[in-house]
Amino acid sequence: MPGFAPRLLPPAGSPAGPARPTAAADEDAARGTVVDRRGRPLRDLRLSVIDRCNFRCTYCMPREAFPADYAFMPPAERLSFAQLLKIARAFTQLGVEKIRITGGEPLLRRGLENLVEQLAQLTTLAGKPVEIALTTNGALLAAKARSLKDAGLQRVTVSLDALDDAVFRRMSDTDLPVARILDGIEAARAAGLAPLKVNTVVQRGVNDDQILPLVRHFKGSGVSVRFIEYMDVGGADRWSDGDVLTAAQARDLVAAAFPLVPLDQVRGADTAIRYRHADGGGEVGFIASVSQPFCGACTRARVAADGTLYTCLFATRGLSLRPWLDDHTCATQLAQAVRQRWTQRDDRYSELRASPRPRPGKVYPTVRMSLVGG
Ligand code: SAM
Ligand code: SF4
Ligand code: SF4
């Protein structure tokens, strides 16, 4: 893979990113949470419930790699809701405060509301309810938003790459109109799934002309749009660094049309660099995962639908949690296994890629995005 090192947003610190203050790491240890070799606590869990998807986004599941006869995980190999719940419980014992349900397309998993209902009963180490969120392509959201909210879902992020039907259909490789996704977003808003976010992956020359229409459409609606740099994750088989429109370039484009005011934020609390519209029309965000990586504050673990734990989006190998998922092993034993893995964690792929030479060559194959859900 060619190196990629534009630094168009002000650098956040050293080339390797900001180190986590020792005091913060000490505090985490005192609270009983687990920290990795770089002092990063385990705070967020992305739980993938299915590897299938009803879209074939060209940057994630290109049709040539995922044809009609592609061998997806047989349903019997997917974790059951009881197993997913056990995993979630173990992670909360280690300090996880947020669980994001993802996929593939999570709304394809039948009875998802039942899982949400059980996850919503979990509490953090501090005794607060664990935050349950969902990332979806929105195609099935209009039908499900109300029942998911009733089950205890708190937040939804909808992925939407264009307002123009032709651009949307080209990127997601479906026949659906954009209106279907907008109906889903409206249903989520009406159900009280707030704050609502829309995530847009920007590919230079493909949908960068959609940035301003998207900002205009959602301005003043309570929905914040976040523009994500196109990443060279597993699944992005056609990625090249020339396809990346950086967060700074996207921000400049938006700021030229809509006056923006930067929002104070603690880097790490959110991956997006956030701005508000100067006239009070809400927020927009820019996620600089390629040009200004945030590995130093990466507190996320990902579990694929077959029960494999990955500690980085670019991991080449994961740890199967299956041995701890039988009926004779309790969540605390599972938590011990995860603790051991997390304490060994040293991942920082994006920082190494963006740092001055020598850069690592990308090792293939990395885990596919559609397995670990972004
Ligand atoms: N299907 C759901 C969806 O699209 O929201 C959830 C899974 S999808 C893998 C999660 C997120 O990953 C989406 O927002 C998607 O845009 C993002 N994503 C996938 N491939 C990407 C890539 N190459 N670069 C940046 N983001 C990507
Ligand atoms: Fe499916 Fe989401 Fe990947 Fe698109 S980004 S192919 S909707 S899993
Ligand atoms: Fe986290 Fe890995 Fe992404 Fe860095 S490259 S932010 S460690 S997932």
Q: Tell me if 12 is assigned to some domain.
A: no
Could you tell me the distance, in angstroms and rounded to a whole number, from the CA of residue 291 to the centre of ligand 2? 22
Query: What local confidence, expressed as pLDDT, does residue 361 receive?
Result: 56
Enclosing domain of residue 106 = 23-372
Q: Tell me if 46 is assigned to some domain.
A: yes
Query: What local confidence, expressed as pLDDT, does residue 16 receive?
Result: 37
Q: Tell me if 241 is assigned to some domain.
A: yes
Q: pLDDT tens per residue, the chain (374 residues)?
A: 334 443 333 333 233 344 455 666 566 555 668 999 999 999 999 999 999 999 999 999 999 999 999 999 999 999 999 999 999 999 999 999 999 999 999 999 999 999 999 999 999 999 999 999 999 999 999 999 999 999 999 999 999 999 999 999 999 999 999 999 999 999 999 999 988 999 999 999 999 999 999 999 999 999 999 999 999 888 888 898 899 999 999 999 999 999 999 998 765 557 899 999 999 999 999 999 999 988 999 999 999 999 999 999 999 899 999 999 999 999 999 999 999 999 999 999 888 877 765 455 555 567 888 888 88
Using DSSP bridges, classify how beta strands 131-136 and 155-159 pair: parallel, antiparallel or unpaired.
Answer: parallel
User: What gap in Å lies between CA 28 and CA 274, rounded to an integer?
Assistant: 26
88 in ligand 3 pocket by Cβ < 6 Å?
no
Structure tokens at 233: 């994750």
Query: In CATH, what number is assigned to the domain containing residue 247?
Result: 3.20.20.70
Q: Tell me if 4 is assigned to some domain.
A: no
Conformation bin of residue 266: beta by default, left when phi > 0, alpha when psi is -120 to 50: beta
Query: What local confidence, expressed as pLDDT, does residue 211 receive?
Result: 98
Q: Is 209 helix (H, G, I), strand (E, B) or coil?
A: helix
User: What gap in Å lies between CA 119 and CA 90, rounded to an integer?
Assistant: 12
Taking CA 141 as the corner, what is the angle to CA 100 and CA 215, rounded to the nearest 5 degrees?
80
Q: Which long-range contacts (CB under 8 A, 24 or more apart) does 314-317 make?
A: 314/233, 314/234, 314/347, 314/349, 314/350, 314/362, 314/366, 314/367, 315/347, 315/366, 315/367, 316/363, 316/364, 316/365, 316/366, 316/367
Q: Which ligand is nearest to the CA of 348?
A: 3
Burial 275-312, CB ≥16 within 10 A → b, else e: bbbeeebbbbbbbbbbbbbbbbbbbbbbbbbbbbbbbb
Could you tell me the distance, in angstroms and rounded to a whole number, from the CA of residue 188 to the centre of ligand 2? 19
Burial 83-114, CB ≥16 within 10 A → b, else e: bbbbbbbbbbbbbbbbbbbbbbbbbbbeebbe
User: What gap in Å lies between CA 68 and CA 80, rounded to an integer?
Assistant: 25
Query: What local confidence, expressed as pLDDT, does residue 329 receive?
Result: 93
Query: What local confidence, expressed as pLDDT, does residue 45 receive?
Result: 98
Q: Tell me if 222 is assigned to some domain.
A: yes
Query: What local confidence, expressed as pLDDT, does residue 23 receive?
Result: 64
Which of 61, 244, 369, 370 to probe ligand 1 with, by most ligand atoms within 8 A of CB? 369
Q: Tell me if 142 is assigned to some domain.
A: yes
**DSSP-assigned states of every residue in 46-95:** EEE--S--S---TTTS-TTTS-TT--PPPGGGSPPHHHHHHHHHHHHHTT
Is-contact 279 259, C-beta < 8 A?
yes
Q: Tell me if 14 is assigned to some domain.
A: no
273 in ligand 2 pocket by Cβ < 6 Å?
no
**DSSP-assigned states of every residue in 289-332:** TTTS--GGG--EEEE-TTSEEESSTT-S--EE-GGG-STTS-HH
Query: What local confidence, expressed as pLDDT, does residue 161 receive?
Result: 98
User: What gap in Å lies between CA 161 and CA 312, rounded to an integer?
Assistant: 24
Looking at the CA of residue 233, tell me the nearest atom of ligand 1.
23
Q: Indicate the annotated binding residues for S-adenosyl-L-methionine.
A: 59, 104, 159, 231
Q: Which helix (H) or strand (E) holds 159?
A: strand 155-159
Q: Tell me if 18 is assigned to some domain.
A: no
The total number of structural domains in the chain stands at 1
